[in-house]
Chain A
Amino acid sequence: MSEKDKKYTVVEAPEGYSAPGFFATTLDKAVGLARKNSLWPLPFATSCCGIEFMATMAAHYDLGRFGAERLSFSPRQADLLMVMGTIAKKMAPVVQQVYEQMAEPRWVIAVGACASSGGVFDTYSVLQGIDKVVPVDVYVPGCPPRPEQIIDGFMKIQELVGNEPLRRRYSPEYKEMLESYGIKIDK
């Protein structure tokens, strides 16, 4: 079999039962498959990591291949909040406000050392990690992380999205977690 005849798998099919004419799987898996390949990120770029994100979106590393072609700067239309760069204490309420405005389901990725834990800047004005104000799903270390690392973080988010149970966002544990951050839940 030559190189040209090899079949390319664009997306791995979830587990399920298939026969000629149909494919049966659970609803979670089907919805997760659709969601994970069409995540709309909100690039919350504050500093140097933002420039590495611009490099990731450009033609060389191309985050658009993973479905994140349409960047949304409006939180109402975004799924994934990518916080890239240092968050100062002045900016922390803004991050929380943007997170509150996003509709469920929403995920957060903290890109860079500063967003994960304050980074090099252990000072009076820098928030030591955004997980003090919003719940974070994936942390990407680096100062700044290479585009390959950002894409790796994005793929881990895709894993989380693909395997998420549908009722997770309505469970009492989730509500409790949001309340512990002081995040208001819209009804």
Chain B
Amino acid sequence: MINKQMEYNTLLQKLKDKFGDSILSADDAADFFTLVVASDIIKQLISFLKDEQNFIFLTDLCGIHYPEQEKELGVIYHLHNLVENKRIRLKTFVTKGNPQVDSIVSIFSGANWMERETFDFYGIDFVGHPNLKRILNVDFMDYHPMRKEYPLEDATRSDKDDRFFGR
């Protein structure tokens, strides 16, 4: 336990030395080390983690939407250091008006479809992605369904009788 704490402290120190203020917060209270970073350095940070800190595996990339925050849309990365068996979580937030994040497809090829899925669900624009179009939903869909303001059911459905559904 204490060893892990020291390891994470040294890692945090290295990151702070390199990226300074862009590391907005760091947290060890969650199940593993979680960092919130500014969206403009995310690509360099992941590149640094992969090349110099052995986080060679991208486990997951997903989006999230917090409507009450100023920067509503977030992208969450999970990286895994297979050599020393450590995980790390990176979060970065952007505003709805300008949802741009650098794409990390050039670092991890596996991020290709994961970024497309995040774009499909949340509308986050990944700059530099080779083929950013919808992947799971129909191509002509004009909204991003996982955002909190959209309902789960199909709004155009006409055959459901509201009496039976308690509405």
Q: Find out whether the CB atom of B157 lies under 8 angstroms from the CB atom of A128.
A: yes
Complex: A123 Cα to B137 Cα, angstroms: 12
Q: Is B154 an interface residue (CB 8 A)?
A: yes
Nearest residue (CB) in A for B157 is A128
The proximity string for A residues 119-137 relative to B, scoring 1 for CB distances below 8 Å and 0 otherwise, is 0001111001000000000
A-B contact count (CB 8 A): 23
A184→B155 CA distance, assembly (Å): 28
Task: Please pick, from B138, B152, B159, the residue contacting A123 in the complex, using a CB distance under 8 A.
Answer: B152
Interface of B is mostly: loop
Which B residue's beta carbon lies closest to that of A126? B154
What residues on A are CB-neighbors of B137 within 8 Å? 90, 125
* Contact residues in B for A124 (Cβ distance below 8 Å): 145, 150-155
A-contact bits for B140-167, CB 8 A (1 contact / 0 none): 0000010000111111010100000000
Q: Please state if B153 and A122 are interface contacts (CB–CB under 8 Å).
A: yes
Query: A89 touches which one: B138, B153, B159 (CB < 8 A)?
Result: B138
Q: Give the interface centre of B136, B137, B138, B159 by most chain A CB atoms within 10 Å.
A: B138
Q: Which residues on the B side are within 8 Å of A128 (C-beta)? A: 154, 157, 159
Q: Which residues of B from 98 to 144 have beta carbons under 8 Å from A?
A: 136-138
Counting contact residues on chain A (CB < 8 A from B), the size range is under 10
A89 to B159, CA, bound (A): 16
Tell me whether B152 and A122 are in contact (CB under 8 A): yes
Cα separation A90 to B157 with both chains bound (whole Å): 16
In A118-172, which residues have CB < 8 Å from any B CB?
122-125, 128
Measured in the bound complex, the distance between the Cα atoms of B140 and A125 in whole Å is 12
**Chain A contacts for B155, CB-based, 8 A:** 124
Residues of A within 8 A of B138 (CB): 89-90, 125
Whole-angstrom distance from the CB of A133 to the nearest CB of chain B?
A: 14
Q: Which of A81-112 contact B (CB under 8 A)?
A: 89-90
> Which residues on the B side are within 8 Å of A89 (C-beta)?
138
> In the complex, what distance in Å separates the CA atom of A58 from the CA atom of B24?
58
Q: Cβ of B153: which chain A residues have Cβ within 8 Å of it?
A: 122-124
User: Which residues of chain B are near A125, meaning CB under 8 Å?
Assistant: 136-138, 145
Determine the distance from Cα of A25 to Cα of B117 in the docked complex, in whole angstroms. Answer: 61
Chain A residue numbers with a CB within 8 Å of B154 are 122-124, 128
Besides A123-B153, A123-B154, 16 new A-B residue pairs in contact (Cβ under 8 A), listed by A number: A89-B138, A90-B137, A90-B138, A122-B152, A122-B153, A122-B154, A124-B145, A124-B150, A124-B151, A124-B152, A124-B153, A124-B154, A124-B155, A125-B136, A125-B145, A128-B159
- 18 contacts across the A-B interface (CB closer than 8 A): A89-B138, A122-B152, A122-B153, A122-B154, A123-B153, A123-B154, A124-B145, A124-B152, A124-B153, A124-B154, A124-B155, A125-B136, A125-B137, A125-B138, A125-B145, A128-B154, A128-B157, A128-B159
Pairs A-B, 9 closest by C-beta atoms: A124-B154, A90-B138, A122-B153, A123-B152, A124-B145, A89-B138, A125-B137, A123-B153, A124-B153
